[in-house]
C-alpha cells in the first residue's frame, strides 16, 4: 500500500510539472498544495492574528476606489466588517471576506503602479532599467481571478511545509501575489531576476504579475507590512519595528515577533536582508500550514 501511495504521488507530481513545463512559466499552485498535503503534524501551535482593539477601525471598506499615488491604474478595495483592523488599514486592491476560520481574499492581480509590462498605450508603462542589464520577458500583465483561502489563526507544525513550485504563496498589501524563491523550470533565478521591472515584479506566461523579491513600491529596506503568506502569518520588510534586521530562520525567512499589528505576538516573515536577486520574500518552506489558491 505504501509503495502504491508513493507511486501515485510521483505520477501526480509529474503531471503537475509536465502541464506547465514550457519555457518561461512557473509551476501551478497545485504543486504547492500537493507538497503541503503530505504533512501529518504531531504537534501544533496556534498563533492569534487579530488586534486587541479594533475601535479605531472602520466597520467595513465597501468598494472603495483606490488611487495609491503611483500613477498606475486605480483599483477597488472591499473588506468585510469581520476582517481585522490590520487588514482594513493596510490592504488595497482586494476583496476580503471571512468564512468560518478563514480569510477569503480575491484579487485581479493587476499592480496599481506603473510597470514595464503594461502596454505603452495604457499610459501605465514604465521603462525597464536596460542600462542595469534588465530586459522584459515576452509576457504582458493580464487581469486574473485569484482566490486565496487563508487561515485566520495560523498553525505551526513540526512538519516541513514545502512551498515547492513557484506559484502564489502569498498576497501583498497591493493585491499582487507573491511567488517563492525559485525560477521557472529550466531557468535560473539569477537569469530570471533581470526580467524584473523597476518595482521588482514581472508576469509569467499567463500574465500573472508577481513578486519574488523585495517589492519596492511597498517596502525598501524598512519595516513596512508587505502582506500575508498563504499560511496566515504576516510579512514585513527587511527590518523589524525597532529598526534592526532580525535573525531569520534560513528555510522560511520567519521569526517570532510582536509588531504593532499583533501585540500578543505571532511569527513574521521578513524580506531577506540581501540586495537584488537575493532579497527573497520567503525561503523554500512555509512556517505554518498553508491554505489554498484557486
Q: What is the pLDDT of residue 40?
A: 56
Q: If DSSP codes are grouped into helix, strand and coil, which group holds residue 237?
A: coil
Block residue for cell numbers 502504491:
4
pLDDT digit string, tens, across residues 123-137: 999 999 999 999 999
Q: What is the pLDDT of residue 45?
A: 62
Residue 161 CA from chain centroid, whole number: 16
Write out the DSSP string of 40-86.
--S-EEE---S-S--TTS-S-EEEEEE--SSBS--EEEEE-TTS-HH
**How confident is the model over 47-70, as a mean pLDDT?**
72
Question: What is the 8-class DSSP label of residue 217?
Answer: T
Give the β-pairing of 61-66 and 102-107. Answer: unpaired
Cα(143)–Cα(286) distance, rounded to whole angstroms?
27
Of the pLDDT bands very low, low, confident and very high (cuts 50, 70, 90), residue 55 is low
The mean pLDDT value of the chain amounts to 83
Q: If DSSP codes are grouped into helix, strand and coil, which group holds residue 97?
A: strand
* Candidate from 85-89, 137-141, 179-183 with smallest mean pLDDT: 179-183
Q: What is the pLDDT of residue 130?
A: 96
pLDDT digit string, tens, across residues 157-170: 776 677 765 479 99
Confidence check: pLDDT of 67 > 50: yes
Give the β-pairing of 61-66 and 170-172. Answer: unpaired
Other CB atoms within 10 Å distance of the CB of residue 222: 14
* Candidate from 53-62, 65-74, 230-239 with smallest mean pLDDT: 53-62
Q: What is the pLDDT of residue 2?
A: 37
Q: What is the pTM for the complete model shown?
A: 0.84
Q: What is the pLDDT of residue 30?
A: 36
* Candidate from 8-17, 32-41, 205-214 with smallest mean pLDDT: 8-17
Q: Confirm if 293 and 29 have CB atoms less than 8 A apart.
A: yes
Cα(254)–Cα(270) distance, rounded to whole angstroms?
6
Q: What is the pLDDT of residue 159?
A: 67
Cα(254)–Cα(189) distance, rounded to whole angstroms?
21
Amino acid at each position: 500500500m505504501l509503495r502504491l501511495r508513493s507511486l501515485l504521488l510521483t505520477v501526480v507530481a509529474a503531471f503537475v510539472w509536465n502541464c506547465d513545463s514550457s519555457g518561461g512559466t512557473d509551476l501551478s499552485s497545485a504543486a504547492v498544495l500537493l507538497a503541503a498535503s503530505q504533512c501529518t503534524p504531531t504537534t501544533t501551535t496556534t498563533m492569534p492574528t487579530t488586534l486587541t482593539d479594533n475601535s479605531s477601525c472602520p466597520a467595513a471598506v465597501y468598494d472603495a476606489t483606490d488611487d495609491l499615488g503611483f500613477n498606475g491604474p486605480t483599483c477597488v478595495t472591499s473588506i468585510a466588517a469581520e476582517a481585522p483592523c490590520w487588514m482594513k488599514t493596510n490592504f488595497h486592491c482586494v476583496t476580503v471576506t471571512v468564512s468560518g476560520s478563514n480569510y477569503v481574499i480575491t484579487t485581479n492581480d493587476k499592480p496599481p503602479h506603473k510597470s514595464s509590462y503594461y502596454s505603452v498605450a495604457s499610459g501605465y508603462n514604465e521603462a525597464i532599467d536596460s542600462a542595469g542589464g534588465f530586459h522584459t520577458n515576452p509576457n504582458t500583465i493580464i487581469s486574473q481571478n485569484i482566490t486565496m483561502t487563508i487561515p485566520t489563526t495560523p498553525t505551526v507544525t513540526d512538519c516541513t511545509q514545502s512551498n515547492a513550485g513557484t506559484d502564489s504563496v502569498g498576497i501583498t498589501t497591493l493585491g499582487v501575489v507573491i511567488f517563492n524563491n525559485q525560477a521557472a523550470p529550466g531557468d535560473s533565478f539569477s537569469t530570471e531576476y533581470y526580467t524584473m521591472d523597476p518595482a521588482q515584479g514581472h508576469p509569467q506566461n499567463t500574465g500573472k504579475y508577481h513578486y519574488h523579491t523585495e517589492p519596492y513600491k511597498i517596502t525598501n529596506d524598512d519595516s513596512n507590512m508587505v502582506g500575508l503568506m498563504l499560511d496566515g502569518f504576516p510579512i514585513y520588510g527587511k527590518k523589524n519595528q525597532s529598526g534592526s534586521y532580525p535573525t531569520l530562520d534560513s528555510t522560511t525567512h520567519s521569526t517570532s515577533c510582536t509588531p504593532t499589528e499583533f501585540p500578543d505576538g505571532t511569527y513574521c516573515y521578513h524580506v531577506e536582508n540581501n540586495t537584488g536577486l537575493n532579497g527573497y520574500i520567503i525561503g523554500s518552506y512555509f512556517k505554518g500550514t498553508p491554505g489554498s489558491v484557486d
